[in-house]
Structure 1
Amino acid sequence: MATSSSSRTSNACCSCEVELKKNAPYILAGLGVSGGLLLLANRNIPAMSVPVLSSAADRVAYALRWSGLEGISMVTAVWCAIGVRAKYGTESTETDSNQHLKTTQRMLTNATESFLTFTAAKLALATVLEPNNLRLIPALSGLFIIGRYSFDAAINHPSRTFGYTINAVATFAAYGLFLWKLLKGGLHSNILPFSLR
């Protein structure tokens, strides 16, 4: 029994190493592109006309406007699903024979989960951002869009890890900044005086 358990553990380790070797270049490229884009945005977005909004409601509305642009990735995923269903819809989805529909449905589910997770993080971040730091919203939204389309373009190839990494950086950066700003001044000082006016 112990031999069986140790062989499964060694197989899992080998499998993990193989996956890491296969995906490591894409992960590193995604981290590099994400970091470069965030630095570029931090340097150049202030030159653009980003509003200084003192009200939390105005900052949330500003973040929601960017969600409309990110929603284009959802529209693309839905149209891809519609196109595949129109072409392969007569085949059964219950059997393994209709991989086109299954892949498209997984892609649509993944796009929805990514969009909702990122949108929640971005809206939460908008509530605690200082009015002069709103440039982070378009920078993170740009990362999300690039990551989403990179992932979708390579859905059946290991290079999809590049898009996944960029997407993850955008989402985790938004959540990380939100938690840091929330806890920096004390949890109660950031929640109690919150006003939508």
Structure 2
Amino acid sequence: MIHPKFYFLILTCICVLFNVKTYAQTDTGKIKTQTYLQVYYSLTNTPGTLGGKSNLSIEVGKQWNVFSLGVDLGKTTLEHIKGRDTSFYFEVRPNLNIFQQGRFTNTLTVGVGYVFLAPNNFLSELTSGIEYTATDRLHLNVNFGQFYYSGRYTASSVTFFGVSASYYFLPYKNRSSIIKPK
């Protein structure tokens, strides 16, 4: 059974991210945040079937210029699990756009989360990716990284390769973070 404190934590994160009007302070004044929805699919290097290697998740978040913060709900495997399902997870994922050239952006994501009912229930993630701005609202990302799982007595890690598509509810305008000299 999932402890009620985890439901409270998830609801608190969602409320803070999406029910409060937030602004980021910059040199040019206030920039309103942008909300996005991302669908993510990845394959891990674990042994087994294609379904066992597959990971699927949905992330909802906000972006402030080069920084974004999202909450991610997903499954660590799409394979049918006999008995109690230990594949559902919740993760908080801060993301930083490191470098941008034209429509391409290099991204870095570090995440921390909880895998429900699993013996290795603490999840951390380190991901690097290349994002392509297809339109003002649609971004496509190819990435690779590593998931780390740890519990009280054991720990494990897997590497993965993934693809994602992000939809911005307001048109995204790329703003340079480089200040031009006067």
TM-score by length of 1: 0.26
Structure with larger Rg: 1
